[in-house]
Structure 1
Amino acid sequence: MLLFIGIAFVALLILGLPIGMILLALSVLYVLFEPAIMDLAFAQRVITGTQSFPLLAVPLFILTGELMNISGITRRVMDFAALVTRRMSGGLAQANILLSTLLAGMSGSANGDAAMQSKILVPEMTRRGYPISYSAALTASSALIAPMIPPGIGLILFGFVTDTSIGRLFAGAIVPGLLLAAVMMVQTHFIARRHHWDPPVTEPPAKPLGPAFIGALPAILLPILIIVGIRMGIFTPSEAAAVAVLYTAVFILIYREASLPQIGAALRSTLTTTSAIILVLAASAAFSWMLTFERVPQTIGEAMLAASDDPRIMLVLISAIIFVAGIFIEGTALILILGPMFLPVTNGLGIDPVQYGIVFVLMAHLGGITPPVGTVMFTVCTITRVSIPNFARAVWPYVLSYLFVAALLIMLPFLSTWLAHL
């Protein structure tokens, strides 16, 4: 039966069906042909997979990102990023990365960040002489910084399914997220210099840096507010998400740049995105339950532990599995299914759950920019009208950057654990 389900899973993925529907359909099929499982128990598992207070943080942080894009904060952060990077080689490309880093604390979503920057920055980068395929690839790659900086949605989901402290994951992800941004900016510097794209600007800026920094300060302060509030016990992650929504709403009232139709569209977008995540969450809960019933996690764990007892080699092996799986499966589903499956292995080898979680989330989201089913890739290519082959040729240097950062996080655990355990 498991062999048939595995073949059906691959076939349905190739056909392009949504991952949530695939998991749910195969789980139902298994229950119908497995007399040892009661239908009622399966239905309860589907429902209880979404019944958790920490999950309230997901729609609230998504709403925060949506409101941020219409509040006027995004434009102010973009002005600040452009001023900071104007004297660098590839100034606008560098601003693209810096903008993703600064706004990550408000969006937490790679797809939302990629869609916004594809509309705003890619046309301007094209006007400045960057090839549109490179602009699209950079925008998609920099958008993956968002899930790595609090309040990343992937971190929340990983903490939920593995019972790892979300507050510790948030704190531990700060250094890896900033390291990822720094590596990308260094790489972009050399790429821009080699191709003579967008040379440094030496003329004095039309707008002083100080007022631009004040304009960007709301976005910079939000992740600090979230981390400090959670670590000091002032509020839980879900309450922090509610605070983030109120925080953004205050600036909507102050700046008065958002209209009621825009607020309505933000609420609808939040509802749509949350519904998709909850569907995958419910389906993966049922699918994971089925795998556990068949002792698949235990079998995989025993095989992996027999292969190596070195924590670093084990994390490399897990990362390789996630990378290959991420080429075909969306990152959220990977977190929900494989995250808890590998947890007994990492715990058995004494790997810090925070290090494991951050490496896992990084590698799971990397699949968003790799063909053939990268969701961030599709978002950017649809908006910019760049073909998938051209995107794939332009994005591979940044894929190597992500793999380099993942290797650093594996070999140097303190990069992802020292803030988490302060």
Structure 2
Amino acid sequence: MNIWLPLLCIVALAMFNVPIWLALLGGALPYFLILQPTLPVQIAVQRVVAVTETSSYLAIPFFITAGAIMNYAGISSRLLDLADGLVGHLTGGLGHVNILLSVLMGGVSGSAAADASMEAKILVPEMLKRGYDEEFSAAITIASSLITPIIPPGMGLIVFSFATQISVGRMFAAGYVPGLLCMVFMMIYVYIVSKKHGYKGSRDKMASPRELLHLLRQAFWAMLIPFGILLGLRGGMFTATEAGAICAWYSLFIGVVIYKEIKWSHIWTILKESVLGTATVMILICAAGALSYFMTYERVPQALAETMLSMNLTKVSFILMTNVILLIIGMFMEGGPAQIILGPLLMPIAIQLGIDPIQFGIMFVFNLGIGNMSPPFGIVLYQVSGLMGLKFTKVAKACMPFIAIMLLVLAIIAFCPKLILFLPNLLYGA
């Protein structure tokens, strides 16, 4: 197979910090120009363009636009007030608020980077005022933000679903259980640490029923988004692409009409963020289109499947090997490119071994998310460290217990499929 030169080019370019989309194209070109000169180079261009003609990918700009609108719609402040009313009275109250806010934000933004940035700017300063350790506050923010992409409509769930041609609705439904498990385990750890260091709650007692009702009423319109998407997909009322469009228009409606916080001056900024966000994702998908063509032409998926099956791998050994590979890759590569490149390669093998594709998809997306907070190149780790002006090594050390928690949840996803598949099977049938 003529794949080693392109792969070496990709690795070499990535080592020189060339943007990953450019590295993918740089790896594909030698194949068409040198290894297969009989193939017209126009095919590479066609494969790059052809990916954008897939109507399914229209969901990506719609959901990105919805997320950009939500940043200016006053949603985060209302969800923050609700989270504080529910758990702010507990020992380590602001730590719990931080975690719960990420779960609530997951249903409306789906972006770990956006969630971490928002909490680092709004919530962490208040934590520091109340005596919380800087590194501990940063670690909570980083770890909790990684719950966001696994809660619908997480962008990782959407990209992986389209890359591997599996049900977006089922992936959305399967994301809730691991997200809630992360929340519970993280809150237990935060409670133990807060008890030890004397971190008190942000309020004396839980909000009264009347106050909670008021907070719920304020956040009600925002909280309709994830449930509306899930129920709409389940009921066949709209496709994933249409769900993205509805989500964007609905977000604009509540930002302008209900909360009255989006002004005309925000529209240009929202559109600019949407275009940049869409371009960032789509250029990766386009570059991966050329790469996947030559891999398919060289029968790489079939050869990989034959090799792994000839090793007499069991379901358990394949899951373990895949998780180790993904954990290593996640430390060096963003989740999006890894999902687009590796997802279609590994999914057929998983199915042949009897692994449910939805379980495998959740495991895949969640595993790569752990890489976002893992040294040496965790993106969210660098982002929050930079925003707070803290040493990367100290924040990385504070993140280790949270990484252990996420590895525990990863093990549950990998080896307790009935728990993960309970909700999608309930909604869609086994």
- Shorter-chain TM-score: what band? over 0.9
CA–CA distance in 2 between the matches of 1:131 and 1:37?
A: 60
Corresponding residue number in structure 2 for 1:121: 123
5 Å matches for 1:348-359?
348-359=352-363
The answer to whether residue 176 in structure 2 is matched with residue 179 in structure 1 is no
**Offset at residue 71 of structure 1 (A):** 1.0
Counterpart residue type for residue 83 of structure 1: G
User: Which of 274, 287, 292 is equivalent to 1:288?
Assistant: 292
The answer to whether residue 329 in structure 2 is matched with residue 329 in structure 1 is no
Gap runs ≥5 in structure 1: none
Corresponding residue number in structure 1 for 2:90: 88
CA–CA distance in 2 between the matches of 1:284 and 1:138?
A: 34
User: Which of 399, 405, 412 is equivalent to 2:403?
Assistant: 399
**Offset at residue 7 of structure 1 (A):** 3.5
Check the 8 A contact 1:308/1:314 in 2, yes or no.
no
Counterpart residue type for residue 295 of structure 2: L
Using the size of structure 1 for normalisation, the TM-score is 0.95
Corresponding residue number in structure 1 for 2:163: 161
Corresponding residue number in structure 2 for 1:14: 15
5 Å matches for 1:251-270?
251-253=254-256, 254-270=258-274
Using the size of structure 2 for normalisation, the TM-score is 0.93
User: Which of 393, 411, 417 is equivalent to 2:415?
Assistant: 411
Corresponding residue number in structure 1 for 2:151: 149
Alpha-carbon displacement from aligned partner over 1:186-207 (angstroms, at most 9, x marks no partner): 2222222222223574357598
Alpha-carbon displacement from aligned partner over 1:268-296 (angstroms, at most 9, x marks no partner): 11111110101111111211222233333
Aligned residue for 1:327, secondary structure, equals helix
Corresponding residue number in structure 1 for 2:375: 371
Check the 8 A contact 2:149/2:157 in 1, yes or no.
yes
Structure 1 stretch displaced more, 257-266 or 277-286: 257-266
Change (3 A) 1:69 1:176: same
Counterpart residue type for residue 27 of structure 1: A
Q: Percent identity?
A: 36
Alpha-carbon displacement from aligned partner over 1:292-325 (angstroms, at most 9, x marks no partner): 3333333332333234442233222111111101
Check the 8 A contact 1:155/1:358 in 2, yes or no.
yes
Structure 1 stretch displaced more, 195-204 or 297-306: 195-204
Corresponding residue number in structure 2 for 1:30: 31
Q: Which runs of 4+ in 1 moved over 6 A?
A: none
**Offset at residue 36 of structure 1 (A):** 4.0
Check the 8 A contact 2:9/2:26 in 1, yes or no.
no
Alpha-carbon displacement from aligned partner over 1:91-122 (angstroms, at most 9, x marks no partner): 10110110010111110111111111111111
Structure 1 stretch displaced more, 293-302 or 326-335: 293-302
**Offset at residue 141 of structure 1 (A):** 1.4
Check the 8 A contact 1:61/1:106 in 2, yes or no.
no
Structure 1 stretch displaced more, 120-129 or 294-303: 294-303
Counterpart residue type for residue 238 of structure 2: F
5 Å matches for 1:159-308?
159-199=161-201, 201-203=203-205, 208-253=211-256, 254-308=258-312
Counterpart residue type for residue 248 of structure 1: S
Check the 8 A contact 1:167/1:237 in 2, yes or no.
yes
Change (3 A) 1:331 1:391: same
Counterpart residue type for residue 157 of structure 1: V
5 Å matches for 1:22-101?
22-34=23-35, 35-101=37-103
Query: How many pairs align?
Result: 422
Change (3 A) 1:198 1:286: farther
**Offset at residue 230 of structure 1 (A):** 0.5
Check the 8 A contact 1:176/1:415 in 2, yes or no.
no
CA–CA distance in 2 between the matches of 1:46 and 1:229?
A: 32
Corresponding residue number in structure 1 for 2:425: 421
Aligned residue for 1:49, secondary structure, equals helix
Alpha-carbon displacement from aligned partner over 1:118-175 (angstroms, at most 9, x marks no partner): 1111111111112222222221211111111111111111111111011111112122
Aligned residue for 1:130, secondary structure, equals coil
Counterpart residue type for residue 210 of structure 1: L
5 Å matches for 1:134-145?
134-145=136-147
CA–CA distance in 1 between the matches of 2:86 and 2:124?
A: 19
